[in-house]
Amino acid sequence: MLTAILTAVGLLAAMGLVFGFGLGYASKKFAVEADPRIDKIAAVLPGANCGACGFPGCAGYSQAIVTGAAPIDKCPVGRAKAVPAIAHIMGVDCKDADVTADVAMVMCHGGKDQCGTHFDYSGVKSCWAANQVAGGHKNCGYGCLGQGSCVQVCPFGAMHLNDSTGLAEVDPALCHGCGKCAVACPRGLIAIVPADKTIHVRCMSHAKGPDIRKTCKVGCIGCGICVKNCPVDAIDMQDALAHIDPEKCTSCGVCIEKCPMKTITGR
Amino acid sequence: MVGNLAFVLLSAILVNNFLLSRFLGICPFLGISKQVETAFGMGMAVTFVMAMASAITYLVQMLLVQLHLEYLQTLTFILVIAALVQLVEVVLKKVSPGLYKALGVYLPLITTNCAVLGVTLINMTENYDFITSVVNGIGGALGFTLIIVTFAAIRERQATNKVYKSFEGFPLALVTAGLLSLAFMGFNGFNLKALLGL
């Protein structure tokens, strides 16, 4: 009995040993020399494999950097930390590189109390499905449908649905600005904005002022008061919707005070 | 002897084709059949593994019988196949990085390609000798290559055709595979022995 077990174990061990040595020899003989910088860059990248850079995962991106196919600042997730490290590994200057961190921002804050619904939606829990049903259940044709398609795709768990307002919200502390949610939103409500810019027009509706007043209490009516009051001329009107230029905005907060609809908010 | 080997070879390629009559190795058949070139590469990789596996497992089986360890057959055969696939992977990565990339995950998956384990087990149940085993392995693999390349050529043509949305991709591929299998069933009525004068 014991010998049977021992011969079985011995045979398998011997076979494993022979194959192991054979493969070890083959891998030495057929070794492919990879650029050591690829592994080094992969180590400083976030490793979330979110694909926001446009390459298949962090390994794919680091390979593209080394072969010169990609610039060093394509990773929005690890931008602030990774870019100087990558620049150091590649031996290039990172002064021109875009190193500001980005976060996602839901550009709608017309919750249940501000913007009603014209019917109850109880279908599949997907904003894309909800958007197909009679133009969406929300009174505003541009507003957040609150079914959480963005929440589902977030690889960092930075998004959640606020039960009291029925809106999607971003936790800026967890958000890395990869932009997956922006793609997942059927109404294009999520913008990727620089993390240090805190003032935003939280409305994407291009509807006319009187129509907005009927549907939403916090929608942009296009009155232009913010444009007139901005001390640095950072705001302009684009198709009946206020737009803040993040390059010019100094986050002074005058527009937040002046906005009659409370559409403009700080974070 | 030669006639017998030709019989084994031809029946492995045409009559008992792994993909179309035994339905083994369907995973790479559907996964790597979008382009003739990569399909051919896959076929060659499988051919190498099948031929080598047939030879080595024959020797291993002799050892197992000698030691009265026949119950370890599946385990040891898979070990042999896994080692061979690893070898193919290492060599291919060096020799042809393009093909290595194109085959992707399907290359290590040859390990679990049931056609490879199937051919080694069939060799044992049919009590083939060493030469016949290797010929059966090569025949099975050539049949695999023949079908996967044919199928890839058909799919290349289908790719440019307009098909119903509900038929796009795998549904159409499966229907095509079924029709191809029906066509190959015709070889069942083929009197190979009379043809070869056995």
Task: Establish, for the pair of chains A and B, how many residue pairs have beta carbons separated by less than 8 Å.
Answer: 44
Q: Say what the pLDDT of residue A91 is.
A: 79
Please say if the pLDDT value at position A124 is more than 70: yes
Q: Say what the pLDDT of residue A159 is.
A: 92
Model pLDDT for residues A125-181, shown as the tens digit of each residue: 899 999 988 888 888 889 999 999 999 998 888 899 998 888 999 998 888 888 889
Q: Say what the pLDDT of residue A97 is.
A: 63
Residue of chain A minimizing CA distance to B59: A15
Smallest CA–CA separation between A26 and chain B, in Å? 7
Which residue out of A9, A11, A29 would a mutagenesis test of the B interface target, given it has the greatest number of B Cβ atoms within 10 Å?
A11
Q: Say what the pLDDT of residue A66 is.
A: 84
Model pLDDT for residues A22-72, shown as the tens digit of each residue: 999 988 888 877 778 888 888 888 877 777 787 877 888 888 888 887 887
- Are B79 and A16 within 8 A, CB to CB? yes
- Are B60 and A15 within 8 A, CB to CB? yes
Percent pLDDT > 70 in chain B is 99
- Are B97 and A8 within 8 A, CB to CB? no
- Are A11 and B67 within 8 A, CB to CB? yes
Mean pLDDT of the B168-175 span: 89
Q: Say what the pLDDT of residue A96 is.
A: 63
Model pLDDT for residues B22-81, shown as the tens digit of each residue: 888 888 888 888 889 889 988 988 998 999 899 999 999 998 998 888 888 999 999 999
Please say if the pLDDT value at position A219 is more than 80: yes
pLDDT band at B154 (very low <50, low <70, confident <90, very high): very high
The beta-carbon neighbor of A23 closest among B67, B76, B83 is: B83
Q: Say what the pLDDT of residue A95 is.
A: 66
What is the set of domains in chain A, with CATH numbers? 36-90 (1.10.15.40), 100-196 (3.30.70.20), 198-267 (3.30.70.20)
**Chain B contact set for A23 (CB, 8 A):** 83, 86-87, 90
The beta-carbon neighbor of A8 closest among B72, B95, B97 is: B72
Residue of chain B minimizing CA distance to A19: B83
Q: Say what the pLDDT of residue A59 is.
A: 81
Residue of chain A minimizing CA distance to B92: A30
Model pLDDT for residues A62-104, shown as the tens digit of each residue: 888 888 878 877 787 777 677 778 888 887 776 666 666 788 8
The beta-carbon neighbor of B76 closest among A4, A15, A31 is: A15
Q: Say what the pLDDT of residue A253 is.
A: 86
The beta-carbon neighbor of A11 closest among B69, B93, B95 is: B69
Smallest CA–CA separation between B94 and chain A, in Å? 6
Q: What are phi and psi of A138, to 5 degrees?
A: -80, 145
CA distance B92 to B84: 12
pLDDT band at B136 (very low <50, low <70, confident <90, very high): very high
The beta-carbon neighbor of A30 closest among B64, B80, B91 is: B91
**B25 neighbors B144 (Cβ within 8 angstroms):** yes
Mean pLDDT of the B128-132 span: 92
Q: Say what the pLDDT of residue B148 is.
A: 93
Q: Say what the pLDDT of residue B186 is.
A: 85
Smallest CA–CA separation between A35 and chain B, in Å? 15
**3-state SS string over chain B?**
CHHHHHHHHHHHHHHCCCCCCCCCCHHHHHHCCCCHHHHHHHHHHHHHHHHHHHHHHHHHHHHHHHCCCHHHHHHHHHHHHHHHHHHHHHHHHHHCHHHHHHHHHHCHHHHHCHHHHHHHHHHHHCCCCHHHHHHHHHHHHHHHHHHHHHHHHHHHHHHHCCCCHHHCCHHHHHHHHHHHHHHHHHHHHCCHHHHCCC
Q: Say what the pLDDT of residue B155 is.
A: 92
